[in-house]
Structure 1
Amino acid sequence: MKVPIGITTLHLSQKSALLLLLAVGLLGFGGYDYVQQSQAVDNAVAVQATITDARVDRMEGGRGIDYEPEIRYTYQYQGETYTSEQVFPSTGVRTYSDRSRAESVVESYEPGATTRAYVSPADPNDAFLVRERTPWPLRAIAIGGFLSVIGVLAGLGAKSPGQQELRPASEVQPAPRETWVDSHGETVHRLSKQGLGVCFVGFWLSLVALVFGLLNTTGGFGGPPQEIQAELLGPVGLSMLAGFSFWVGMVLSLCLYGVWSFTEYRQLRQRLSASKPPSPFRHPSRLVTILGTGDGDLSEYGQRVRLTGWVLLIAAGMTATLAYLLYTAS
């Protein structure tokens, strides 16, 4: 598929087209919800509301258990009585993975108590209690923007990068300078793979230990949800500390493997013909295209670029996930 944009043309594969379609959907929905929330917050009129019910609803889905603060209240606006369950001025439902955070929202609203609600004069049916924007629209816009950049880079990239054939190693003069990784490549390769395997198994074992520790703390399945006070040197605390350590170990092992793989890529690049293509690691459009290409359609050189790129991306993603969890937990 060819899509003309200004002075250039995007050459989109089916995967790239679907990726851009998803990106446009996220950008559109996120932008629409952000505008709706902004208008609701800016134009809302305060009214008195009476709480009729306030509780935390447990929701089980494909990604685990979430908790939704569910508050029902009645209010009057211009002589009419309305009922609403909306807490935030968002078109979506805001849930929490931590029950205590959902309870902190509900605890301010006791049944029978009066509180302040906010009504949009243009649509008095949609009142809300908390006059602040939810983070979901900006997250959707950020994800949509990231996916659109990936899709555009894939469309701008060369049609078939990573297919260059290599000259025989005997025809290539060795590099005049060797790094420590060059001279100890086999050791680095072996240690990175062994470290990744050990940390991967250890991480999942620590999760199993964490589950058993939680079951012993809460008394097993079927009981009401409880707030857990975990000691650092107790079963739950040690399991979490071990899981954190193994996760960091996997990131470090991936980085070590990525360094070795990048060194291998540099050695293979020396075996390309005199008219070498631009380096994929300096031209993101070429790298994105190679990352989305199957191994069967790549030469040895292209497969090394693809493996190196994915390893470094996974390490960066795991690091970002860890940073996000530490930030939300603080």
Structure 2
Amino acid sequence: MQQDFATISEFVDILQRLPASDAGACAAARERDGQLTKPPGSLGRLEDLAAWYCGWRGDPKPRIERPQVIVFAGNHGVTAQGVSAFPPEVTVQMVANFQAGGAAVNQLAETVGATMDVHALALETPTEDFTQGPAMDEAELVEALYVGWQAVDSKADLLVVGEMGIGNTTSASAISLALFGGTAGDWTGRGTGMEGDALTHKAQVVAQAVEVNKQCKTNGLEILRCLGGRELAAMAGAMVRARMLRIPLILDGFICTSAAACLERAQPGALDHAVAGHVSAEVAHPKLLKEMNKNPILSLGMRLGEGTGGVLAMAILKAAMACHSGMATFAEAGVSDG
């Protein structure tokens, strides 16, 4: 099986040969759940999450011991269109903050016991303004996908990928419009704080971007190339690498989910190893999750990005696995199961 890639065609080959969940491990996990010292179904969705996790790990009684968080950063040429309340320099400044341990995601990663890595992708060279043509050429897309691919720790047992990039909600909105149709307004939200006329302008930019790049609409990876950014492509590369390594994935917010949606369009089922960590306050995220058939674990009104919502959901999944693998069975506890 292809384990590496240097071209888009080789990446597509990998997408067509993704490993499946281990049905035997999943069934064994369900059987174990039925023997634990609790009424059937009493832990609700935690039971389903546990069985899902066991299937991907190929183990009916695993623990989560090496969770990984990766934040990718990129700059977008479309910021020249005035779609963000912050300048592109903030991306560089926030990368330094991540590296110094000062961002929200650093605190949350520490709270859930996850390692955290940060990868900045050519911040000094923004992608092209995709209202004028494709954001990236094929070589740039492959390079960004490969950064994500290489960033995944092969020993990790749970992954969250996050992002930082001024202008990237515009990219996510354009991707969503290209993938699922509707109007630009359906998919365009406040991002870093755009309101009123500025928000209307942002929606117009999204519509123009999709119209200019309309040739890409039938191909998920082309949509990612034409309307994405380096950090979105890197997230996609990491998602696929996680699948190859059977590492369960927790999706973060709107931007992360838009990158995932490109993969799902390119290869249906490519995100079966992923759950939605949360639904964000970004207006289009609930609609995008519905299109992806992903039921979010948390709903806390967050819209920060960085992977923060996904990292919070790591705590829920860790709790699910602690109960599943740590609880006694009726026989072990000497409790009558009726």
With the length of structure 2 as denominator, give the TM-score of the two structures. 0.27
Question: Greater relative contact order: 1 or 2 (C-alpha under 8 angstroms, separation 6 or more)?
Answer: 2
Larger Rg: 1
Q: Which protein has the bigger strand share?
A: 1
